[in-house]
């Protein structure tokens, strides 16, 4: 470890002498490959220079932690300015190309592989940190968007927070992997984002909807799914949180027997994430007070969900819910107590 740290320090000292050449070469490679449009490049130039300067300043002093902290700041800047993540990573990889000649000309050939390995190891740490920071910013934005939809709908307070926690509890009980748990926590709050596209006179109507109004309300599922698909664009996505966001937004009102909407999907044709979220959302709707209904008890919610097994809900998921229903009650009580305390402080 110390030997690797010393090699990185030597490279940082080399970069100090060649800083402007490396930066110019880096920008040339980015422009040549058309990674960024002119506006994006203007935003990123300060970040590129800071990354190179941090490499020199911190790593010449052996301060790897300081360098990585600087990486996180750059990631936040890139995320806030809405530079696509794929472009961010590609820019970083072009950094490696921009200094390759400096290493070839200054490091003995028999040591070159070891030096490059040390830097590559550092770069892996950098990519891990910037990825986490980048998506932390993006996740905050996602949740803010979801809260906007919730405020328009005038749902009960903490509906988004509760349903995401219910969903994670169910996913854990089904022994689903960490990536699934992380994704459903991130995107569960987007389940009703499509309600932004529903007219207020329908969305906020205190009484029962007419059949025509109900048909209009049902469109929030397709509106939400299409909105998220527009973010994905032409990128091929086979897994991950955006794909799950589409699944939940579009399918959380499907029913296990095929009687749900918008597509009338049945059984396991309904994505697992949406089957999980359908139960979580239903539980919260039952135990929460709404303009058109009173809050019902936890026991009544358990009874109704048990009765909906195989019709509304996936029987396997219902079985897990019945085993952990006390966790649902605890989550609801936690946020209810928090809401009461917050209200009392106003």
Q: Determine the pLDDT at residue 293.
A: 77
Average pLDDT for 95-99: 86
Q: Determine the pLDDT at residue 253.
A: 97
Q: pLDDT digits over 50-72, tens only?
A: 888 998 999 999 898 898 888 88
What is the pTM for the complete model shown? 0.62
Which residue has 């405020």 as its token pair? 151
Q: Determine the pLDDT at residue 346.
A: 46
Greater confidence (200 vs 256) lies with 256
Average pLDDT for 24-30: 90
pLDDT of 202 above 90: no
Q: How far is residue 197 from each of residues 143, 165, 182, measured CA to CA in Å? A: 17, 26, 27
Q: What angle do CA 33, 35, 40 make, to 5 degrees?
A: 140
Q: pLDDT digits over 122-172, tens only?
A: 888 887 777 777 766 666 656 666 666 666 655 555 888 899 999 999 999
Report CA dihedral (144, 148, 154, 159) to the nearest 10 degrees: -20
Q: Determine the pLDDT at residue 143.
A: 61
Q: pLDDT digits over 324-335, tens only?
A: 999 999 999 998
Q: Is 228 left (phi over 0), alpha (psi -120 to 50) or beta?
A: alpha
What is the average pLDDT score of the chain?
85
Give yes or no for a contact between 234 and 318, defined as CB atoms under 8 angstroms apart: no
Q: Is 313 helix (H, G, I), strand (E, B) or coil?
A: strand
Which residue has 């992997």 as its token pair? 177
Q: Determine the pLDDT at residue 319.
A: 98
At 88, list the tokens: 């961010």
Q: Which of 177-186, 214-223, 309-318 has the highest mean pLDDT?
A: 309-318
Average pLDDT for 327-346: 77
pLDDT of 247 above 90: yes
């Amino acid at each position: 470890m110390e030997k690797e740290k010393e090699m990185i320090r030597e490279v940082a000292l080399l970069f100090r002498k060649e800083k402007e050449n490396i930066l110019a070469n880096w920008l040339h490679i980015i422009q040549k490959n058309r990674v960024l449009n002119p506006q994006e490049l203007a935003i990123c130039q300060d970040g590129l220079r800071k990354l190179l300067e941090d490499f020199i300043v911190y790593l010449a002093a052996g301060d790897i932690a300081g360098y990585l902290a600087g990486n996180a700041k750059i990631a936040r800047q890139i995320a806030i300015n809405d530079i696509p993540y794929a472009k961010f990573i590609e820019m970083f990889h072009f950094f490696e190309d921009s200094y390759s000649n400096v290493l070839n000309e200054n490091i003995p050939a028999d040591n070159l592989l070891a030096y490059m390995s040390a830097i590559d190891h550092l770069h892996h740490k950098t990519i891990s940190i910037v990825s986490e920071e980048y998506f932390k910013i993006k996740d905050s934005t996602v949740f803010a968007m979801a809260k906007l939809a919730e405020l328009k709908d005038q749902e009960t307070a903490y509906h988004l927070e509760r349903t995401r926690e219910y969903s994670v509890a169910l996913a854990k009980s089904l022994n689903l992997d960490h990536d699934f748990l992380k994704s459903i926590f991130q995107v569960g709050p987007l389940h009703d984002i499509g309600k932004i596209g529903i007219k207020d006179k329908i969305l906020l109507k205190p009484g029962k909807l007419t059949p025509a109004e109900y048909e209009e309300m049902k469109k929030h599922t397709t509106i939400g799914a299409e909105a998220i698909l527009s973010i994905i664009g032409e990128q091929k996505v086979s897994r991950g949180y955006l794909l799950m966001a589409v699944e939940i937004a579009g399918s959380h009102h499907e029913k296990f027997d095929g009687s749900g909407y918008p597509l009338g999907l049945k059984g396991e044709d309904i994505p697992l994430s949406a089957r999980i979220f359908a139960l979580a959302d239903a539980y919260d709707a039952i135990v929460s007070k709404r303009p058109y209904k009173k809050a019902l008890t936890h026991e009544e919610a358990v009874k109704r969900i048990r009765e909906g097994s195989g019709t509304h809900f996936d029987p396997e998921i219902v079985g897990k819910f019945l085993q952990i229903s006390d966790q649902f009650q605890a989550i609801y009580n936690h946020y209810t107590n928090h809401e009461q305390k917050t209200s009392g402080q106003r």
